[in-house]
Structure 1
Amino acid sequence: MNLFKRAWWRLTGHLGKTLMLVGLFFVICTLVLSGFLIQSAATRAAASAKNSVGAVATMQLDVNALLDSGRMQQRKDSGQPGMIGAEGDLHRSLVDKICKSSVVANCNYRKDSVAEPTDQVKLHQPVPAPAGQDNRGADFFKADGVRDLDAVSTFRNGDSKLIAGSGIKPDSKSDMVVIEERVAKDNHLKVADKIKLKAIVRHPDGRIGFKEIGFIVGGIYQNNTADTGTYVPPMMAPSNQIYVTPGGATRLDSKKVGADGGCSTRPPSRCATPPTWAS
């Protein structure tokens, strides 16, 4: 009993020191409890993120596997490399089934192509090529056939944004094209204008030709990358990037769009888009 009395006298006899110790004890307890609360909240947030954020999957052709399978089509001239045949196509109808799955939140695919400029639609080239430089092979628009423009990485991260018209959607028509604003200004183009671009035609005898393909400007976008003060090959410049539908990219390859939206010169039942896809 004397122990408690002496402790009480000690606390009341040094009131300032007692208040300081009580305050310090309160601060320590508060910090410990806050740490437990933060740890618990972080655990719940991590569990919630795992449930809401999924993995990004990318599909593309495994050329080595195709070569090992012996299904690469060989040219008549044995000195020429093999060609990817029907076995190398990834059918659009199959990918559309994957995109409609309940476990897939978003889906996109891409078909690479190029378009030759015409008198109506010229390339944006603020700095001309140096004298004597051969520009053949680079004087093209880089045309990406995409299923959904909003799912393209440059539009997702904000490097590009739509400023007029609408973007490409899964139900967009094959004659829709989205161009960059610098190309639109250079050629005095606006939304709903009808334009023509040249598609590359590869003849059986090896000759290369061009034919004009009609498109309608469905949208105009802005890319945040400014023009440099030096020459850049036109196809490498962000301003000369255009977007079309997968069917539009098929048309730029001088092929017919199949019944399922695929691409080939084969019958529609076997028509498929080339095997370059991105999530």
Structure 2
Amino acid sequence: MNFVKRAGMSLGARKSRTAGLLAIFVVICILLLGGFLLRAAAAHREADAQRTIGVDVTVKQKGLTLALADRLGASDIVHRYTPRLPARAAWHGFAPLTSHASKPDGETRDKDQASLAVNGVRDSGMLLPFSYGSMKIMAGRGITPEDRGQGVALIEQRLADENHLEVGETVQVRSADGKRTAALAVVGVFQDPTRDPTRWTPPHELPGNVLYVPTGTAQELGTRSATVSEAVYRLGSPDQAEQLHATAGRLLGAGSFDFRVNDKAYEDQVRRIQQIGTFAGLIVWVIALAGALILGLVVMLQIRERRAELGVLLAMGEKKWKLIGQHAVEVATAALPAVALAALAGQLAGQPAGDLFLGRQGERPTSAASAPDSEIAPLTVRVEPATVVNVAGIGLGISLVSTVVPGIGILRLHPRSILDTE
């Protein structure tokens, strides 16, 4: 009789043992699938975290220009960046804030009336006070790269309250030399937690008189200078900071610039995700080895219980490798439906399990140094066909190992030795 057909008859005749074997395989396959899903989810979450959290690098150099800052920002490893171009501007049609303290004797009044501190930026969300939460957008939005060439402004809440300004309204400001006037649409209102100084302070040094505008607007309002005070770059990992440092050295001159890396948010979030991914990979190997060991013991016990059957078959001339093949087919037959059941369980429970280990969907970084607007993309756990194939492959491998290793003893036996022990 064909050993495959004989394996099917054996499974039908031993229904309770077949059900037990199936249950063992279902548990093994579910754990294997869970390990694969967790590792894949961790890899996706790590990529999202690198893109949204990343590592912030601040570059400062005397004489750093917008052109050089843009060339450095064009690097393939830079996700986002912004230079900061400081300027002074005069108010027109609205009142800037003034110090509540008494003005010291002998202090002269600004002749140019440049009471506003203007910061030209490409992406206000990249500035560290905004990126790490000390300054918050209370209404509207910040300055974005799409605002290049547009007359828009992000103003401080105290200035907005003093002049009853809201998002969508327009303010008029003059250049420092009084020769140019710009109409700026208020696109956002931010809050600076810095308190007003207790001593008299010039208006342009008050935190409430700060405006953020696109870099082109800042050049027009200032002295048309292209020198920036600093540039901030967001990278994917601390390793890429070394690459950016080398690129900055070629552009700016080695050792002539200040290069500071802020990777606290990355260390707090991404390293934890990487550890979960490593743990998931370890789970897969441990389960595979433990599963092979457990099934090997089960098959060994079954072989001992069926020694008489084996002796009769050998006495009838059945080849030993077919006896081992029969056991392999029996175990593999239980493995295939177990993979299907595990895939169904993974589809139903994969998402809750992923949320449990890697955080809820849409979760914001938990570190105090994390950007408030850096919301990690929702975690989606799917049972992909490739993952099911991997689980099936490991499951069949376990079934093969668990039958071949105990079956080695069969190769050393003869019908007389088997039947004599009965």
Q: Distance in 2 between matches of 1:277 and 1:215?
A: 24
Q: Secondary structure at the match of 2:146?
A: coil
Does residue 107 (structure 1) correspond to residue 81 (structure 2)? The answer is yes
Does residue 196 (structure 1) correspond to residue 172 (structure 2)? The answer is yes
Kindly report which structure 2 residues correspond to 1:141-152, keeping only aligned pairs within 5 A, or say none. 141-152=116-127
Displacement of 1:122: 2.3
Deviation sequence 1:32-60 (CA, Å, 0-9, x none): xxxxxxxxxxxxxxxx9xxx665725153
Q: Which residue of 1 aligns with 2:91?
A: 117
Q: Which residue of 1 aligns with 2:162?
A: 186
**Which of the residues 123, 140, 158 maps onto 2:133?**
158
- 2:90–2:114 CA contact under 8 A, matched in 1: yes
Deviation sequence 1:134-182 (CA, Å, 0-9, x none): 1326852111101111111211232211101110011114311111011
Amino acid across the alignment from 2:72:
I
Does residue 278 (structure 1) correspond to residue 231 (structure 2)? The answer is yes
**Which of the residues 177, 182, 206 maps onto 1:237?**
206
Does residue 214 (structure 1) correspond to residue 215 (structure 2)? The answer is no
Does residue 98 (structure 1) correspond to residue 72 (structure 2)? The answer is yes
Displacement of 1:91: 5.1
Cα distance change, pair 91–233 in 1 and its aligned pair in 2 (3 A): closer
Amino acid across the alignment from 1:105:
H
Q: How many residues align?
A: 180
Amino acid across the alignment from 1:144:
N
- 2:156–2:190 CA contact under 8 A, matched in 1: yes
Cα distance change, pair 278–131 in 1 and its aligned pair in 2 (3 A): same
Cα distance change, pair 251–121 in 1 and its aligned pair in 2 (3 A): farther
Amino acid across the alignment from 2:166:
K
Q: Distance in 2 between matches of 1:145 and 1:109?
A: 8
Q: Distance in 1 between matches of 2:91 and 2:102?
A: 16
- 2:153–2:187 CA contact under 8 A, matched in 1: yes
Give ranges in structure 2 of 5+ residues lacking alignment. 1-45, 233-422
- 1:60–1:278 CA contact under 8 A, matched in 2: no
Q: Which residue of 1 aligns with 2:216?
A: 247
Q: Which residue of 2 aligns with 1:68?
A: none
Kindly report which structure 2 residues correspond to 1:61-72, keeping only aligned pairs within 5 A, or say none. 61=62
Amino acid across the alignment from 2:83:
Y
Q: Distance in 1 between matches of 2:187 and 2:83?
A: 19
Amino acid across the alignment from 2:134:
D
Cα distance change, pair 131–95 in 1 and its aligned pair in 2 (3 A): closer
Higher relative helix content: 2
Displacement of 1:97: 4.6
- 1:124–1:182 CA contact under 8 A, matched in 2: no
Amino acid across the alignment from 1:158:
G
Amino acid across the alignment from 2:170:
K
Cα distance change, pair 199–228 in 1 and its aligned pair in 2 (3 A): same
Greater relative CO, 1 or 2 (CA 8 Å, sep 6+): 2
Q: Which residue of 1 aligns with 2:57?
A: 56
Cα distance change, pair 188–171 in 1 and its aligned pair in 2 (3 A): same
Deviation sequence 1:47-75 (CA, Å, 0-9, x none): x9xxx66572515345xxxxxxxxxxxxx
Cα distance change, pair 240–102 in 1 and its aligned pair in 2 (3 A): same
Displacement of 1:278: 1.8
Give ranges in structure 1 of 5+ residues lacking alignment. 1-47, 63-88, 202-208, 256-263, 265-272
- 2:93–2:171 CA contact under 8 A, matched in 1: no
Q: Distance in 1 between matches of 2:185 and 2:96?
A: 16
Q: Secondary structure at the match of 2:92?
A: coil
Cα distance change, pair 117–131 in 1 and its aligned pair in 2 (3 A): farther
Displacement of 1:129: 2.5
Q: Distance in 1 between matches of 2:159 and 2:106?
A: 25
Give the number of the structure whose alpha-carbon radius of gyration is greater.
2
